[in-house]
Amino acid sequence: MTKLSRSEIARIKAEVKQAAIDHLNAREAETALSHFTEDVIAVSNTQLFPSLEALAEDVHAYYKNLKEVDLAVWDEMHIKVINKDTAIVTARFRYSFTNIEDQRIDLQGVWTSMYVRRADNWRISLRHESFETLKK
């Protein structure tokens, strides 16, 4: 295994952080789905999505119901570089949106993802998110 220099690790962390920010800021289904690998496995609370096709159904349903994103923030983000093509991201998040029925939904939770470099782009290969809906 080749040891990475501090500058290489810093560069990878910056690239992966930007990829995670871009994902959190996606405003339509196809953009959000473009951030995943073809062989992604995802978990959201108690739901397992063992393929991109299964995840795509859920993502399309969410964005079909989305009117506006009110807040999208990563808190306490940590990035562990595994090698030149793999990194793990863990973070807390706060996310609020208004749906097409003009209801505001406030979420907070934790996120873990494995990013892999594919064709010079960082993509999510494994994702786990646990969140709670905050009551108003």
pLDDT in tens, 41-82: 999 998 999 999 999 999 999 999 999 999 999 999 999 999
Contact between 128 and 42 (Cβ < 8 Å): yes
- The CA distance from 90 to 77, in Å, is 6
Contact between 100 and 34 (Cβ < 8 Å): no
Contact between 25 and 40 (Cβ < 8 Å): no
Give 73-116 pLDDT, tens digit per residue: 999 999 999 999 999 999 999 999 999 999 999 999 999 999 99
The DSSP bridge pattern shows strands 47-49 and 36-44 to be antiparallel
- The label of the residue with tokens 């080749």 reads 2
Q: Which domains does the chain have, with CATH numbers?
A: 6-134 (3.10.450.50)
- The CA distance from 85 to 12, in Å, is 9
CA atoms within 13 A on the CB side of 88: 5
- The CA distance from 121 to 70, in Å, is 27
What pTM value is reported for the model? Answer: 0.92
- The CA distance from 118 to 65, in Å, is 30
